[in-house]
Structure 1
Amino acid sequence: MTPAVFLAILWLVMASSSPSPDPILDAEWQKWKIKYGKTYSLEEEGQKRAVWEENMKKIKLHNGENGLGKHGFTMEMNAFGDMTLEEFRKEMIEIPVPTVKKGKSVQKRLSVNLPKFINWKKRGYVTPVRTQKDRCSGKQAN
């Protein structure tokens, strides 16, 4: 078998084994990408779309079961919809913790003669309680 024929067969096998995108979800995929500002290279687009579609299927299945009373909550697609579980863990859970350098401590020793009680309100460090509602809408708080 010539290398060209072998490569052609290999390409056909790979193309047939990779799932093709569901055309019914095309508009939803485009809307989701715009909503979350997602852009991909040509190589990455197909892979991310396949992951997104798989996650979308899980969400729709779950919500359908929820309608039958199986679950107590619904699910919705979010900005992480194009990530596999491994990608999500790496991005959101596996946070590197910096190592602590051993050396001399810079802390001051606490005074032994600390008072048992301090009234911070009398010292002016505590302010009266204020209503914070409507902070997000830009309205003046009381």
Structure 2
Amino acid sequence: HLLVLLAVILLEFLPVHPQLLDNGWDQFKSKFKKTYDPILESVRKIAWEENLLKINIHNAEAAVGLHNYTLRDNHLTDMTLDDYLKEMVRLLRSRHRKTDGDDMMLGATQTQIPEELDWRKKGFITPPMNQEDCGSCYAFTIGMAVEAQAFKRDGQYTPLSVQQIVDCSTRNGNLGCRGGSLRNTLRYIKDQGLMKHEDYPYKAEKKMCKYTRNEAIMTISDWKVLPPGDEEALQNACALIGPIPISINASPHTFQFYHDGVYDDIKCSSNTLNHAMLLVGYTKNAWILKNWWSEHWGQNGYMYLAKGQNRCGVSNYAAYVVV
């Protein structure tokens, strides 16, 4: 009976008529303001059709209880998986240096923390962010972590310049829109500080560095790396310190099109880390993560990720900043 029900639902979900696909493609281009040259458009349309099929099959399976989360058509649906990984998922790794000092935090033992916590409910409400086709997740993640600590200290939210990190941290080992590491970014901000977003707005491409030291309004005094693979330490840090930068595996196509529910794709291995997000809270069974792929991805830019299994390597490399 389950297979029959699934087949019936699939017929509802799958657009099979060419005219329906053409209409859907036109709506997709209009909604997300997409323009292509003629040759690229045919390639992108094929990718969109193939991805739409994957999305619809997954959602049909979710409708009969086979998945705990749904997918949706978003601004990344015209990307092949290879294009998506090259353009959107560009986190690099950076080793500890002696000049960093002792940046490893011991395992947390604090137990007096709430079962559920959401920093958004504490007033740290930020608009959806969009890195666009620039591999700058590292800059958004650390920049917003600094904003969060400043908010916790001062009680007000001041957007800081992500573009400054993209343009100016190459001497620390970052590669602009071709990727960067959380540690390199922490080193840069500790040395140089950050200007306001309004004074140095985001352009989604690497530009000439326009940093002015006397306009930097925020810096960090230190940072600590959490014990790898320790989700309890991650939860304690989020509760006691604030929003936490984390590294994650964003490789699966289900991650690319995530929409709603608790993401728990077993194919999302903990062995790969290629994207950075900000942990802003947790429930009893999920981490609440902020992404940089606009309001069209996830739940208005957020993901609920299953807790307890180090899914997608969420606790493999996490750190917090001290302002």
What TM-score, normalized to structure 2? 0.24
Alignment of 1:58-137 (within 5 A): 58-94=54-90, 95=135, 98-100=170-172
Q: Distance in 2 between matches of 1:99 and 1:89?
A: 25
Q: Distance in 1 between matches of 2:89 and 2:70?
A: 23
What TM-score, normalized to structure 1? 0.52
Q: Distance in 2 between matches of 1:59 and 1:25?
A: 14
Cα distance per residue 1:57-108 (max 9 Å; x no partner): 000000000011000111111000101112112211124872428xxxx89x
Q: Distance in 1 between matches of 2:19 and 2:27?
A: 14
Choose from 53, 57, 82 the match for 2:53.
57
Q: Distance in 1 between matches of 2:172 and 2:44?
A: 38
- Match of 1:50, SS state, is helix
Choose from 7, 10, 27 the match for 1:31.
27
Deviates more, 1:65-74 or 1:92-101: 92-101
Read off the aligned partner of 2:28 and give its amino acid letter. W
Unaligned runs of 5+ in 1: 1-20, 108-142
Q: Could you tell me the percent identity over the aligned residues?
A: 36
Read off the aligned partner of 1:62 and give its amino acid letter. H
Q: Distance in 2 between matches of 1:78 and 1:89?
A: 16
- Match of 2:87, SS state, is helix
Q: Distance in 2 between matches of 1:22 and 1:58?
A: 17
Q: Distance in 1 between matches of 2:18 and 2:30?
A: 18
> Could you say if the C-alpha distance between residues 86 and 99 of structure 1 is closer, same or farther in structure 2, counting changes exceeding 3 Å?
farther
- Match of 1:71, SS state, is coil
The size of the alignment, in residue pairs, is 83
Higher helix share: 1
Unaligned runs of 5+ in 2: 1-16, 91-134, 137-168, 174-190, 193-323
Q: Distance in 2 between matches of 1:61 and 1:24?
A: 17
Read off the aligned partner of 2:172 and give its amino acid letter. V
Larger relative CO (CA 8 A, sep 6+): 1 or 2?
2
Query: Does 2:36 match 1:40?
Result: yes
Q: Distance in 1 between matches of 2:45 and 2:78?
A: 7
Q: Distance in 1 between matches of 2:67 and 2:84?
A: 23
Read off the aligned partner of 1:74 and give its amino acid letter. T
Task: Return the offset for 1:27.
Answer: 0.9
